[in-house]
Amino acid sequence: MRPLIGIPPRLRERGRENGGLELGTAVVAALDAAGADAVIVPPQADPQLLAARLDGLLLPGGGDFLPAQSYPAAVVFDPVAPRQQSFDTALLAASLERELPVLAICYGMQLLALHCGGRLHYDLPTDLPGASPHRLGSGRHALRIEAGSALARALGDAQGPVNSRHHQAVADPGSARVAATAPDGVIEAIELARGFAIGVQWHPEDLDGAQRQSLFGAFVAACAARRGNGA
């Protein structure tokens, strides 16, 4: 059987009762092409029970984390719903406790860093005025990948430029380790020392060709191996 990967979609709250869920189709298509089945897991009561039924967790891109301090009025935040953040935090913790493989993308990488006791840049132009632009739309920038990292093994030879469309980033990965940086030093990937738990700041599901296939393929292979071991 193909491994079952849980994906929490973005929750858009509208009033007390009405709301909606958002998830781009590209990430589901990338998992399907790599040989996995995706199941959407919106906020609900028992993250521990959900984690027990999954073979892996994919945390996709999402909203912004809100800073405690004030920022210039020109900085616009698109905040993640508190209920979403609380659920995602609990589901991530439950998944890592069960040693499920985790692939965390953009917002997901930042959540992984916070789980590890890290800190964020809440707005790169404000917090790191010397950084290069990272809201490039369809643009690309190079990566500096740490030799010997799990990310380097996952990507193999597919270590080309990546897309970039974020204004928040990881400032300190906490107990995680840095796996890649942009040329300006902004952290672009983190990973845990144990198991398969990789966070990337870019959106590999939107890249064509070898890099998407390599990263999603390595993630799904880790999920399949865990399923095959009966863990």
> Which residues carry out catalysis?
106, 203, 205
State both tokens at 94.
């439950």
Q: What is the DSSP string of 191-224?
A: E-SSSSEEEESS-GGGS-SHHHHHHHHHHHHHHH
Rounded distance between C-alpha atoms, residue 127 and residue 101, angstroms: 32
Please check whether residue 142 is in contact with residue 183, taking contact to mean a CB–CB distance below 8 angstroms.
yes
Helices then strands, each counted (H, E), the chain = 7, 14
Rounded distance between C-alpha atoms, residue 141 and residue 217, angstroms: 23
The Cβ of residue 63 has, within 10 Å, a number of other Cβ atoms equal to 18
Rounded distance between C-alpha atoms, residue 85 and residue 150, angstroms: 26
Rounded distance between C-alpha atoms, residue 218 and residue 215, angstroms: 5
